[in-house]
Amino acid sequence: MKPDMALEIRLLKDDEYPQVVDFYNKAQNIGHKGQKTWRTLERFKWEFVDCPMGKAIYAVAIEKEGSTDKVVGVQCAIPFMFKSAKNEAVLTAKGEDSLLDISLFRKYRNRDILKEMYNFLFEECIKHNIKLIWGFNNIPSTLKRVGFDVPFFAKNAVMVLRPFTSYKYLSSLNSNNTGKDKFKIVALSIMSTIYGYKRIFISNHLKKYTYSDRTKENFELFCNAVPDNSKYYFLNQDSEFIKWRVIDNPTNIIYKTKQWFDTNGNLVAEIIYSYYNGLAYIEQMLFNNGLPDKIKLKFIKKIIEELVSVKSFIIRFAGFENTTISKHEIYLLRKAGFIFAKRGAAFVIKPLTGENTINPNELMLSRLYFQSY
């Protein structure tokens, strides 16, 4: 390390957004020459500046050499409000954009840069009255080292609609797949296609319910989905959040929010789904606790049919087993013809106030909580 070189950890300045975008793109594209999902300044501002609860607390590691400031690391926390079924609100933050230049590990061998960045971020979050940080991570051991708990993992589900195209997509997710791995993917694609035909046996009869795009906020439905006397928490998805996360999303992904109402006009179910270039996701499901399973399955089948109609080759879902509601979602999707293939991303959480404000087993989670494009 040159004697006039120093490393500073501080908050990102507004005029440094382009530099951070460039740092992210170059780091993300190492070994991915054909990648076309580079972050744009528009996407950066959408994800981290125009957030419904205020802009992200964005920390940067800056290497200073003379008068030059170079971004060599980033880590941020996006504020989100959780509300309980008892209408208690807790301000939290979702950890995102954890990325360091690998050269730092050689230049600053006596410093734990990642831990320094997280400690700085924790302090800034506390200043903003944020009670805890949570998120999803594929290398949870790294976050355990800086104080996060890893209470559970997501469970990935698939329904293959076109086996050959699905095989090409699934095998492309890991460039290190062996011949044995590829054979397993072929078997999964064929088995999921066959298993998915279970949906044919679900009735389409739904005369007692009206179906439309989103016309009502879903907090009351969340409360009605929660079993009696349970204190579950749910990401506050008011109109401002939906506008930001779904409607104003600057990617090419198409998001749809569908709702069902009973004969009295009560919202009894909501399913949010997305699709792009044949890849589809069921992002989130909510059902009134009093609905029979056979009705819930009819609603799920309706969404599958819509995704088939837009020529999806595969439908994916991220399930959880930390609440009775989430476990029941997995049960319903298996009945509808989904296969739960493997463990997904780890859910990580860290209280910042010295108290467990929210029990992880009281959190209702979905793929809508991810930031992935």
pLDDT tens-digit series, residues 67-85 = 788 898 999 999 999 999 9
Instruction: Quick: pLDDT tens for 89-107.
Output: 999 999 999 988 877 777 7
Instruction: Quick: pLDDT tens for 124-156.
Output: 999 999 999 999 998 888 899 999 999 999 999
The 8-class DSSP code of residue 243 comes to I
Q: Residue 206's pLDDT is what?
A: 85
Tokens matching residue 323: 């609440």
Two domains, one topology: 5-130 and 154-345+358-369: yes
CATH homologous superfamily for the domain 5-130:
Gcn5-related N-acetyltransferase (GNAT) (3.40.630.30)
CATH of domain 154-345+358-369: 3.40.630
Instruction: Domain ranges for the chain, please list them.
Output: 5-130, 154-345+358-369
Instruction: Quick: pLDDT tens for 150-179.
Output: 999 999 999 999 999 999 999 998 888 899
Q: Which residues of 36-50 are buried (b: 16+ CB within 10 A; e: fewer)?
A: eeebeeebbebbbee
Identify the band that residue 347 occupies on the pLDDT scale cut at 50, 70 and 90: very high
The 8-class DSSP code of residue 361 comes to G
pLDDT at 317 exceeding the cut of 80: yes
Q: Residue 84's pLDDT is what?
A: 94
State the average pLDDT for the chain: 91
Average pLDDT over every residue of 170-189: 90
Average pLDDT over every residue of 362-372: 88
Can you tell me the distance from the alpha carbon of 207 to that of 189, in angstroms, rounded to the nearest whole number?
35
Q: Residue 26's pLDDT is what?
A: 84
Instruction: Quick: pLDDT tens for 36-71.
Output: 557 899 999 999 999 999 999 999 999 887 778 889
Can you tell me the distance from the alpha carbon of 246 to that of 254, in angstroms, rounded to the nearest whole number?
8
Q: Residue 191's pLDDT is what?
A: 95
Find, among 333, 370, 323, 324, the residue nearest to 348 by Cα. 370
Q: Residue 5's pLDDT is what?
A: 63
pLDDT at 32 exceeding the cut of 70: no
